[in-house]
Structure 1
């Protein structure tokens, strides 16, 4: 697809606002509209950026070429399938869906319709900017911690699908190996879903990943420690810094790169480049998003088994 693109966003929450701004500011894109079942919310996001507010999905889809879905995760599949059926290219915030069956239907529909289906695992952009995706060694151990205080967002899914799935996608990307086992334990929050979880996942390569998430912590912490044969890399995702004792070079100035400064923008630009045929694929494909979802659901099952 060439020429100017009309961008649209489904969901007028905080992330919907971020995505609307991306389309409003992107080269060769205009923000055509924002859809939300609450018209006033859609208007608050769309109108300051020059877009229209919609509360009718068919009218919204008629007005756009590319769609970002930033609604609650439980709506992702139905909204993506509607957009794909209308011939629109789709960028879905993570998780791609809440079941593998739904996500596979989305992937099949996109392939049949010939449209791009991307997923917003934007931490992948950070690892790309650092150089970790091209590391010449495979990791032996990965320990990730992703904690934050209670928040009203993403309460329709567990902390595994909300937070841990970020680190699941990263470990799948750098391990380049299939998971073998998943064990875990957790604590249910007041809404009856897992608000705290700790999982241990083993991979065919011999890697062990220990993933710890909480939505009940007093403060935000986002860290990762990766042990390689030649040393370790410790990442602070909030400070955008890392310590490297391995034998391979990483970009210490990654936070000053365009991708490091704006991972969401880089992820959206990757999606738009794939839509225009400038790149062969978006930053995170449907296949990769489904693999992350599949492992996240295996962790949830492990939590249930241990309860």
Structure 2
């Protein structure tokens, strides 16, 4: 099989990890890494034995697939050039800054028969993957994603930085359209929203309560999904899935009315799995797990939440 020529555009904190994964995937050739900072590009390229480039346009016509890990505001401009050149694209979340831009990228990829994948990493967490076959009509979802403050990624609100991870996963779990949203949030250390709580109501009656903070003392990424006779509790950091189910006859022995089953998934590499899925979708000519349309749906939901946010002063 002919090697898939790959490159990573933007090799800062997250992009360098993308580059490392491509370098490990059989059948992939990491042609180059790109960063506007020459020293950053040189350091990553030297460690992985590929070219260092400061202008991504040099790679048009020289690669088959790219990861785009530049600041959000530049996603559209970089994506559209590679799609126009016939290159498959994996773009980090949020895929664009506007829905119109997302629609244009989706249409162009479809027109050219290209894969357009969006980097919603939590979809590849083994605990989340194990949850999917257990679900049957979720009725209530409660999620919390808390993180200590870091200057990185403060160019967008906590809604687009952190909450969008859980919103995307919730949208993939609930087979219904969003009916209404409301949200309260506050600025704490930046000029944008740093902590927020949103309530999403779906047309089928399901309700999701979503909290995100980037100004917390500790890191926490958890979700609970309630359905008839069961609650599924995910810890994304510990990679565990605990299921609580009602006993067949809870009144017979009230002390054992709830049965508990825990699954632990040990070490995992969701980013590697995400990039492998992207590469396989190209080779197999299929849709990736997180399509451009899924990325757009998450962006639309977070934009609705942003518009509905009442700032707490």
TM, length-normalised to structure 1: 0.92
Whether 1:303 and 2:309 are equivalent positions in the alignment is: yes
- 1:267 corresponds in structure 2 to 274
Corresponding residue SS for 1:162: helix
Asked whether the equivalents of residues 199 and 212 of structure 1 are also in contact (C-alpha less than 8 Å), the reply is: yes
Total equivalences in the alignment: 301
- 1:121 corresponds in structure 2 to 120
- 1:186 corresponds in structure 2 to 185
Asked whether the equivalents of residues 183 and 303 of structure 1 are also in contact (C-alpha less than 8 Å), the reply is: yes
Alignment of 1:1-307 (within 5 A): 3-126=2-125, 130-246=129-245, 253=263, 255-256=265-266, 261-277=268-284, 280-303=286-309
Shift of 1:61: 2.7
- Specify whether residues 240 and 87 from structure 1 end up closer, same or farther in structure 2 by C-alpha distance, changes over 3 A only: same
Corresponding residue SS for 2:176: coil
Return the alpha-carbon distance in structure 2 between the equivalents of residues 161 and 275 of structure 1: 28
- 2:249 corresponds in structure 1 to none
Query: After the TM superposition, which of the residue ranges 45-54 and 16-25 deviates more from structure 2?
Result: 45-54
Return the alpha-carbon distance in structure 2 between the equivalents of residues 178 and 302 of structure 1: 17
- 2:257 corresponds in structure 1 to none
Corresponding residue SS for 1:273: helix
Return the alpha-carbon distance in structure 1 between the equivalents of residues 100 and 122 of structure 2: 25
Shift of 1:65: 1.3
Shift of 1:136: 4.5
Corresponding residue SS for 1:235: strand
Shift of 1:189: 4.0
Shift of 1:240: 1.0
Corresponding residue SS for 1:245: strand
Q: Which runs of 5+ in 1 are unaligned?
A: none
Return the alpha-carbon distance in structure 2 between the equivalents of residues 191 and 110 of structure 1: 36
Corresponding residue SS for 1:97: coil
Shift of 1:122: 1.7
Corresponding residue SS for 2:138: coil
Q: Which runs of 5+ in 2 are unaligned?
A: 247-259
Shift of 1:251: 9.6
**Structure exhibiting the larger radius of gyration computed from Cα positions:** 2
Return the alpha-carbon distance in structure 2 between the equivalents of residues 93 and 183 of structure 1: 26
Asked whether the equivalents of residues 34 and 60 of structure 1 are also in contact (C-alpha less than 8 Å), the reply is: no
Once the two structures are superposed, residues 84-132 of structure 1 have per-residue CA deviations (whole angstroms, 9 ceiling, x without a partner) of 1111100011111121111111111111222110011121122676432
TM, length-normalised to structure 2: 0.91
Asked whether the equivalents of residues 127 and 241 of structure 2 are also in contact (C-alpha less than 8 Å), the reply is: no
- Specify whether residues 19 and 284 from structure 1 end up closer, same or farther in structure 2 by C-alpha distance, changes over 3 A only: same
Corresponding residue SS for 2:265: helix
Corresponding residue SS for 1:224: strand
Two-structure CA RMSD over aligned residues (Å): 2.1
Return the alpha-carbon distance in structure 1 between the equivalents of residues 128 and 185 of structure 2: 33
Query: After the TM superposition, which of the residue ranges 24-33 and 234-243 deviates more from structure 2?
Result: 234-243
